[in-house]
Amino acid sequence: MRKQVVIVGAGAGGASVAAEAKRQDPSLTIVMVEERSQVSVAA
């Protein structure tokens, strides 16, 4: 069974958690949920 992670909040914290989870297990499917139409991005 494939593991899935749902992250509520697509701000800097949510993106950081998503990136770390994917580094730990590249086979994860990650879904980020955000109530606003725009998400936070950083360089």
The pLDDT of residue 4 is above 50: yes
The tally of domains found in the chain comes to 1
pLDDT confidence of residue 15:
85
pLDDT, tens digit, for every residue of 10-39? 888 888 899 999 999 999 999 999 888 876
pLDDT confidence of residue 43:
45
Sign of CA dihedral 39, 19, 22, 17: negative
What's the pTM value of the predicted model, to 2 decimals?
0.73
Residue 21's domain comprises: 1-43
Residue pair 16/22 in contact by the 8 Å Cβ criterion:
no
pLDDT confidence of residue 41:
65
- Per the structure block, which two tokens stand in for 3? 């593991």
